[in-house]
């Protein structure tokens, strides 16, 4: 079971990384991701129901540690889809208010499930037999109403809560990045950067530019290493008249690459080395 789920989640991650790099529109990207995740979950469900659990401990392990990894991705992309679909595109103040409302919603979930947060984050297990075994429910343990309508063969009372916790961590990061973007836009209007003369256009994809920016930041080439990544990104956006979007999210996707995390920089180094070699000859 462990091997199957690990291979399935690895395959799903690779596909999601491909989607993130190939689809620039955030709404279409999230929609495509949701469809892929649903198919992956359905495959896992068929495998689990056919195989069956060999012990209660194996059942607990699946619903506490494995299934939430899949479902959390579904929750994340589904939330991002609705966020992008309903976000206001006119007025920074309206957008700031909208993002803050979404952040408040995350906090509300945290406050309403504080006891379970503490239980899960502290890696406790004394209630696992109630939380993560199918067919057992205690209405006093803060149940979500959807549980009573869900497929009892493939869910427990609290496996979805763990998925929500995992997803909310990423959603919060996404929203905070968006909030910073809005704040930076406000600042840039008040104190616009002076672009150099001329008009150089970045003709490679945005992912490559973001990889380069993070590489320069890691090397500390600006302000003796004291420049923040958001300031460097904003400067490059100004120079090349390009919107990088959620560059931190792209950086996370670069980190999750399986073969090479620095594809563009590696290609840059190789091409420069080849040119120098050719000119020496």
- Alpha carbon distance 218, 229 (integer Å): 9
Q: What is the pLDDT of residue 146?
A: 61
* pLDDT exceeds 60 at position 277: yes
CA dist 35 → 40, 92, 129, 225, 251 (Å)? 9, 32, 32, 42, 23
Q: pLDDT band at residue 149, thresholds of 50, 70 and 90?
A: low
- Say which residue, 256 or 165, is predicted with more confidence: 165
Q: What is the pLDDT of residue 93?
A: 84
15 alpha-carbon distance from chain centroid: 14
Q: pLDDT band at residue 103, thresholds of 50, 70 and 90?
A: very high
Q: pLDDT band at residue 191, thresholds of 50, 70 and 90?
A: very low
* pLDDT exceeds 90 at position 82: yes
CA angle 88/230/209 to nearest 5° reads 95
Q: pLDDT band at residue 200, thresholds of 50, 70 and 90?
A: confident
Q: What is the pLDDT of residue 260?
A: 84
- The structure tokens listed for 23 are 């689809």
Q: Tell me the mean pLDDT in the region 197-221.
A: 87
Task: Identify whether the C-beta of residue 177 lies closer than 8 Å to the C-beta of residue 246.
Answer: yes
- Alpha carbon distance 117, 6 (integer Å): 25
Q: What is the pLDDT of residue 196?
A: 52
User: Could you tell me how many helices (H) and strands (E) the chain has, helices first?
Assistant: 12, 0
Stated pTM of the model? 0.65
pLDDT tens digits for range 211-240: 999 999 999 898 888 888 988 998 898 888
Of all residues in the chain, what percent carry a pLDDT higher than 70? 90
pLDDT tens digits for range 109-130: 999 999 999 999 999 999 999 9
Q: Which helix (H) or strand (E) holds 160?
A: helix 159-190
Q: What residues does each domain of the chain span?
A: 2-187, 194-280
Q: Pick the closest to residue 178 from 246, 98, 230, 237 (CA basis).
A: 246
Mean pLDDT of the chain: 87
* pLDDT exceeds 60 at position 182: yes
């Amino acid at each position: 079971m462990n091997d199957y789920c690990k291979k399935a989640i690895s395959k799903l991650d690779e596909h999601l990384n491909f989607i993130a790099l190939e689809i620039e529109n955030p709404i279409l990207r999230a929609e495509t991701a949701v469809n892929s995740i649903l198919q992956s979950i359905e495959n896992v469900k068929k495998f689990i129901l056919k195989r069956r659990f060999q012990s209660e401990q194996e059942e607990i392990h699946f619903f506490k540690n494995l299934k939430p990894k899949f479902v959390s991705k579904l929750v994340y992309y589904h939330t991002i889809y609705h966020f992008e679909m309903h976000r206001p595109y006119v007025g920074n103040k309206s957008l700031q208010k909208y993002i803050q409302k979404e952040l408040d919603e995350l906090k509300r979930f945290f406050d309403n499930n504080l006891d379970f947060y503490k239980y899960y984050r502290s890696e406790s297990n004394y209630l696992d037999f109630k939380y993560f075994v199918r067919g057992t429910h205690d209405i006093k343990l803060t149940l979500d109403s959807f549980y009573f309508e869900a497929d009892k063969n493939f869910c427990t009372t609290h496996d979805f809560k763990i998925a929500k916790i995992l997803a909310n961590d990423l959603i919060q990061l996404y929203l905070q990045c968006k909030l910073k973007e809005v704040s930076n836009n406000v600042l840039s209007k008040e104190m616009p950067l002076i672009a150099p003369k001329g008009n150089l256009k970045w003709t490679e994809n945005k992912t490559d530019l973001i990889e380069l920016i993070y590489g320069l930041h890691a090397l500390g080439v600006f302000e003796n290493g004291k420049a923040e990544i958001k300031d460097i990104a904003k400067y490059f956006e100004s120079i090349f008249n390009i919107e990088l979007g959620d560059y931190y999210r792209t950086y996370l996707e670069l980190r999750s690459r399986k073969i090479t995390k620095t594809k563009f920089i590696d290609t840059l180094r190789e091409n420069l080395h080849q040119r120098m070699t050719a000119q020496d000859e």
